Chain A
Amino acid sequence: MVVVIAAVLGYPIYSLVRLSLQEYGLFQLVSHHGIYVGLQNFSSVLHDPIFWHTLLRTVVFTAANVGLTMVGGTLIALLLLRISTWVRVLLTTGLILVWSMPPVVGVQVWSWLTSSQNGVLNYILTELHIGNYFEHDWYATPFSQLAMSATLIVWGALPFVVITVYAALSQVPHELVEAAQIDGARSWRVFKDVTMPVIKPILLILTSLSILWDFGVFTQVYLLIGQGHITPDNYVMGVYVYEEGFALHDFGRGAAISLLMLVIVAAMSVVYVRKMVRIGEVE
């Protein structure tokens, strides 16, 4: 059984490595035989400025998303500690509702909210006198397109972080916090020296999980920007792999990009996997 499952999980990786060393286009897809070309796909990708630009853009995009999600999530979790029970129940219920929204539904809702024709975001911003956003097009520049995608991703990711951090915060011994307060420690000091050490492990896991998810994001970015508006200027890694591999039917090169992407992700996930394996070994 274990062997079967290991094979099911391991085979795609093996197949990916093999494909990345082959020329594999539509013709090869029909004949089922790739042509071995050695490292040619890799050298082609690594010499392609689009790869490096996309990588850099994805790193910045991921950093922004993860930063916003983690800082925002921790702040909201801390807020949950300070509010009355009825507000807390209301807010947690709302967060769970948001958490349960399917990503594609989120995309459709975002498209409608940010629509330049009668989108409610433009109306609200104009009414609040933040500026004149009448018929403002949120998808006019790559920056704006990705910023909108980021808001959608962060919105979808916040509930999980808030609820998990809140659960961790409830592990912080109450007496310790009170003792620190009696000793005259200010809230920032209490957070840094009492709360932080307790929730640090969970923050670490959440951060690495968020990095992994946001680095490989595809659906939200691809659908929100819209198939027809995807260009190398707004590629993130997930979209890049898809466009190079599928839209151009160059599966060998696509596999090389996938593999590079997976290696980067694997390197980033070392912290998380090691922690998980340690949990697995201890028990």
Chain B
Amino acid sequence: MTHRTLRRAGWNTLGLAVFAVMVFPVFWMISSAFKPTDELNSVTPTWFSGSPTLGHFRVALHTQYFWTDVKNSLIVVAATVAISVVLAFLAAIALAKYRFTGRKLFIVLVIGIQMLPAVGLLIPLYVLLAKYGQVNKLTGVILVYLTTALPFSVWTLRGFLLGIPKDLEEAAMVDGSTRFGAFVRILLPLVAPGLVATSVFTFITVWNEFVFANVLLSEPNQTITVWLANFTGGSIGGVDWGAVMAASTLIAIPVVIFFLLVQRRIAFGLTTGAVKA
């Protein structure tokens, strides 16, 4: 018995050690964001600040383009989420409910495109957008994000739709409901969790995206993620790490919140392809 308890204690210690190592960078980000500059620049680091300050957050929030870029990010996120959810929903219905020629090719395309590294598609999309005068325009970036957001959304929503028995829809129609009525009253409520999950996932991917925004946009049309990548805290020569950590914390917060909402769905969506919860 004692032997077992001892062993359990050993495993627990190891678990706590793994926890400490994994979470440390996040802890250090937050703790540094609140530390006065002299503590940050000390050779012996302090783990928790004795006199926490909000000064770094103030520096970050007052840096040029912070609010402009937050606004740009929100516009791009909102537009991409709205358009991709509608389009993906319709495509997912087609995939889940109807058989058509080229269905298999379409599935391969949807999964295949998702797997290709974004940086590989950077050049053709850039040239294409340049042709239509969409470089350094938010609309151009939204179009690009749609091509990356759609495959995942289609695939995930398809999984949701498959979980809904066809009889339900048919029963509603037999009872005198129109096809549209059946859609609104039966299908939509059942697939709502899927719509929420894909919307949040799209939100996170678009908010975090760096490669395309960096190439396609420049200030004052930049997104907040690229702003963060170029942010050094404004001090000349060195980097004001307190301000950089404060800005990092602020930019991570919306993602962390939304992520916690849908974490489960994302995990299963990626591995099984079909979300059949």
Contact = CB atoms under 8 A, between A and B. Distances in A.
Contact of B119 (A202, A218, A281): A218
A87 B9 CA distance: 11
A112 B44 contact: no
Contact of B128 (A12, A103, A160, A241): A12
Given A2-B100, A109-B245, A269 B121 contact: no
Contacts of A238: 117, 119
B123 A251 contact: yes
A280 B117 contact: no
A85 B26 CA distance: 23
A217 B120 CA distance: 10
Interface in A153-194: 155, 158-160, 163-164, 167
A133 interface: no
Nearest to A8: B147
A242 B107 contact: no
B156 to A, nearest CB: 12
Contact of B28 (A96, A120, A215, A254): A120
Nearest to A217: B117
B32 interface: yes
Interface stretch (B15-23, B171-179, B186-194): B15-23
A144 B245 CA distance: 24
Given A6-B106, A83-B15, A96 B260 contact: yes
Contacts of A159: 22
Contact of B26 (A97, A254, A265, A266): A97
A140 interface: no
Nearest to B151: A9
A281 B158 CA distance: 12
Contacts of B26: 97-98, 101, 109
Contact of A96 (B105, B116, B263): B263
Interface residues of B, number: 93
Interface residues of A, number: 95
Contacts of B110: 9
A225 interface: no
A265 B248 contact: no
Interface stretch (B50-58, B64-72, B74-82, B205-213): B205-213
A117 B241 CA distance: 11
Interface in B219-277: 225-226, 228-229, 231, 238-239, 241, 244-245, 247-248, 251-252, 255-256, 259-260, 263, 267-268, 270-274
Contacts of B118: 216, 218
A82 B251 contact: no
Contacts of B150: 5, 8-9
B45 interface: yes
A79 B11 contact: yes
A52 interface: no
Contact of A16 (B115, B124, B229): B124
Contact of A79 (B18, B100, B130, B239): B18
B25 interface: yes
Nearest to B47: A120
A113 B244 CA distance: 12
A76 B18 contact: yes
Contact of A216 (B87, B120, B225): B120
Nearest to A246: B215
B146 interface: yes
A216 B229 contact: no
A84 B12 contact: yes
Contact of B115 (A8, A269, A281): A269
Contacts of B244: 108, 111-112
Contact of A241 (B14, B122, B125, B268): B122
A283 B115 CA distance: 22
Contacts of A90: 15-16, 19
B16 A87 contact: yes
B123 A105 contact: no
A67 interface: no
Contacts of A237: 117
23 contacts: A4-B87, A6-B109, A11-B128, A12-B124, A15-B127, A83-B8, A87-B15, A91-B15, A104-B226, A104-B251, A105-B251, A108-B245, A113-B28, A158-B22, A164-B267, A223-B229, A237-B117, A245-B123, A261-B120, A273-B112, A277-B108, A279-B272, A280-B158
